[in-house]
Amino acid sequence: MSLLSRFKTTRIGSSISYFIQPRKVRFEWQDTPVDWIPDQPFASYFVNEINNILPAGELWFCRLYNKVLPQITDEKLKHDVQAFIRQEAMHAQAHNSANKEYLSERQIDIQRNLDIMHFLFNKLLADQPFGLKIPKIMAHQWDLFRLGIIATVEHMTCVLGKYALYNTEWERLGADPNMLDLVKWHGAEEIEHRSVAFDLYRHLGGGYIARYYLSVVVIIGVIGLWVDGAAHLLSQDSRFKQYKPAVYKPWIWKEWLRISQSDNRLLPNPLWLVSQQLGYLMPWYDPVHEGSTDDALHYLNHSQAAKRATLKVA
């Protein structure tokens, strides 16, 4: 038996026994204020930037996963990936609704942030980056590198999903129920499908060592884009004009750290967020240990946006 044949027969498949459930959701934004966390404009804008960051990336996930779908030899993993694609497409649609019906309707300029994400996922990380055709001999490695980015990002989004799902301070302070439901619903589905990207990456040949440089790329990229986009939103609000928010200025980083260390802890601590990547670097890392599927499903079964979509269909 050739080495290639042996590899194909020992490929890692799906690591979960349950079946992931795609769901439709429907959000109504007409009553959601800009400060969706009352009297907390910084935290509100900071979380709102997630709506700008996610849609382009999630649709890119879907395109790449559809491309590699024929290469999957494990039927359960193929089902997981198909369900993942449907969930990610719904995530993109939900966050786009917040961009169009919530932020843009309140005269907040988000186009600059959306353009950056469009460039990243439709130009830089495209099948043909900057329109350049990848040599056939390198095509699989280019796909594998991008699948590794997705697996690493999905670890981070699972960590953020846990933070959102178990956060009780937003609700205690009277946060808008629509935005609260969006971040918790999304966080719960990130926990539900937390194993898929990692399973697929390994199934198609992703190795252990690559996790180190992929983690550096993802941590710098995600946190940098998040702070940069949030700074653009904050700079449009007269309450923050004096600080001239920008990703390269210390104020926004200090303010993020201060709020994350306050009694309310309305934002995840950036140092904690980086530290959570360490588990991903361990040889024994298994996404199934990140969060509780039962807790995620409990929330998803009670999400108002999911119920609203069900009622509309009925």
Amino acid 11: pLDDT: 62
Instruction: Please tell me the total count of domains within the chain.
Output: 1
Q: 3-class SS at 291?
A: coil
Average pLDDT over residues 118-124: 98
Is there a domain that residue 116 lies in? yes
What percent of the chain is predicted at pLDDT more than 70? Answer: 95
Please tell me the least confidently modeled range out of 8-12, 195-199, 281-285.
8-12
Quick check: is 29 in a domain?
no
The H or E element spanning position 165 is helix 136-166
CB of 184 closer than 8 Å to CB of 299 = yes
Flag whether 17 is in a domain: no
pLDDT tens profile 242-292:
999 999 999 999 999 999 999 888 999 999 999 999 999 999 999 999 999
Give pLDDT, residue 312: 55
The b-or-e profile of 216-255 (16+ CB within 10 A means b, else e) is eebbeebbebbbbbbbbbbbebeebeeeebebeeeebeeb
- Parent domain of 305: 41-126+140-311
Report the predicted TM-score, pTM, of the whole model to 2 decimal places.
0.94
Position 84 in a domain: yes
Q: What is the mean pLDDT of residues 127-131?
A: 96
> Count of CB atoms within 10 A of residue 279's CB?
15
Q: What pLDDT was estimated at residue 4?
A: 39
pLDDT tens-digit series, residues 130-169: 999 999 999 999 999 999 999 999 999 999 999 999 999 9
Q: Backbone phi, then psi, for 133, in 5-degree steps? A: -75, 130
159 found inside a domain: yes
What is the token pair recorded at 10? 């020992």
Number of neighbouring beta carbons within 10 Å of residue 111? 12
| DSSP-derived secondary structure for 180-236 | HHHHHHHHHHHHHTTTHHHHHHHHTT--STHHHHHHHHHHHHHHHHHHHHHHHHHTT
Does residue 22 belong to any structural domain of this protein?
no
